Amino acid sequence: MKRRIYYNPKVKDKVTVLKTANETANDHIIVEVELAPSGGTPKHYHTSFSGTRTTAAETG
pLDDT digits (tens, 9 = 90+) for 3-50: 699 998 988 889 999 999 899 999 888 888 898 888 777 787 778 877
Say if CB 48 and CB 34 are below 8 A apart.
Answer: no
State the total domains in the chain. Answer: 1
Q: Does residue 18 lie in a domain region?
A: yes
Residue 11's pLDDT is what? Answer: 83
Q: Does residue 51 lie in a domain region?
A: no
Residue 7's pLDDT is what? Answer: 93
Q: Does residue 13 lie in a domain region?
A: yes
Q: Does residue 59 lie in a domain region?
A: no
Domain that holds residue 28: 4-34
Say if CB 9 and CB 35 are below 8 A apart.
Answer: no
pLDDT band for position 57 (50/70/90)? low
Q: Residue 10 gets which letter from DSSP?
A: T
Count Cβ atoms below 10 Å from residue 5 Cβ, excluding itself.
Answer: 10
First to last CA, the chain: 29
CA distance 8 to 39: 11
The structure's pTM equals: 0.64
Q: Does residue 21 lie in a domain region?
A: yes
Say if CB 15 and CB 31 are below 8 A apart.
Answer: yes
Residue 16's pLDDT is what? Answer: 94
